[in-house]
């Protein structure tokens, strides 16, 4: 086991050697999370797998929760990259949404068992691992920004207020898909893909129909409820993400 002498002040740009150490810690953490689950993957075990001291691991990541936030951020960056083909070629809102959600499920596949063990923590309202927590804000904003790309690049016609708030609603919809995937035990999570295929066109049709006065009012009421229940200002996050 080797230690990297850390001379970088917190918040300063890391040296190439320090970046390598940080990346090794993240890689070790993700391996152990997949192999042992969240509880059993201790910081000591992660440091040992990465080939650094426990103290050095804690220098870069103050807790396992911070490592999970790194996982969220990396997963979101990979999701963005995996969605580019469909976003570059499709203009139909349903197809853009379908491709983006399918890419998300495919990327998460190696972490299916781990996600089940993590969910009990992420579902806790006060947990920093919750997708609604302040700590999860960077990944949440990045995800909402991706769904904003889904909307703005489509040929779907909608009112300006719907266009502004739809990315956040689609992000919430994606959380529902993710929750179903966590519990999906069908081969290859085929039922999750079926759920996506069965619902995206319904979503697109509702968006198209939202220009009708009765649905416009219902959508406004739904957004008001979401704003009321949002624990830390998700609505403002969506604006920032755009």
Rounded to two decimals, the pTM is 0.83
User: What residue spans define the domains of the chain?
Assistant: 16-62, 69-241
Q: How far apart are CA 132 and CA 144, in angstroms?
A: 12
Tell me, what's the pLDDT at 1?
A: 52
Residues 118-151: tens digit of each pLDDT: 888 888 888 999 999 999 999 999 999 999 999 9
Tell me, what's the pLDDT at 234?
A: 45
Second-level CATH architecture of 16-62: Orthogonal Bundle (1.10)
Among 106-120, 185-199, 216-230, the range scoring the smallest mean pLDDT is: 216-230
- Percent of the chain scoring above 70 in pLDDT: 86
Q: Cα angle at 146 between 104 and 115, to 5 degrees?
A: 30
Average pLDDT in the chain: 87
Tell me, what's the pLDDT at 184?
A: 96
69-241 folds as Tetracycline Repressor; domain 2 (1.10.357)
Q: Cα angle at 143 between 154 and 204, to 5 degrees?
A: 35
Tell me, what's the pLDDT at 12?
A: 55
Residues 196-213: tens digit of each pLDDT: 999 999 999 888 887 777
**Structure-block tokens of residue 133:** 């927590």
């Amino acid at each position: 086991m080797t230690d990297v002498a850390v001379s970088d002040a917190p918040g300063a740009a890391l040296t190439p050697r320090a970046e390598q150490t940080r990346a090794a810690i993240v890689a070790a953490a993700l391996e152990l999370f997949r192999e042992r689950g969240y509880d059993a993957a201790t910081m000591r075990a992660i440091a040992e797998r990465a080939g650094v001291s426990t103290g050095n691991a804690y220098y870069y990541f103050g807790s396992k929760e911070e490592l999970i936030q790194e996982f969220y951020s990396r997963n979101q960056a990979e999701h963005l990259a995996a969605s580019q083909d469909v976003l570059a070629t499709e203009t139909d809102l349903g197809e853009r949404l379908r491709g983006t959600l399918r890419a998300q499920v495919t990327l998460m596949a190696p972490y299916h068992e781990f996600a089940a063990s993590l969910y009990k923590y992420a579902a806790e309202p006060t947990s920093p691992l919750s997708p609604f927590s302040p700590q999860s804000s960077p990944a949440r904003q990045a995800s909402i920004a991706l769904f904003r790309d889904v909307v703005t690049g489509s040929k779907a016609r909608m009112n300006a207020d719907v266009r502004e708030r739809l990315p956040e609603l689609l992000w919430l919809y994606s959380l529902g898909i993710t929750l179903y995937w966590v519990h999906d035990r069908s081969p290859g999570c085929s039922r999750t893909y079926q759920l996506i295929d069965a619902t995206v066109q319904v979503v697109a049709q509702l968006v198209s129909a939202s220009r009708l006065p009765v649905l416009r009012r219902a959508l406004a009421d739904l957004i008001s409820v979401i704003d009321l229940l949002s624990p830390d200002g998700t609505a403002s996050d969506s604006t920032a993400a755009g």
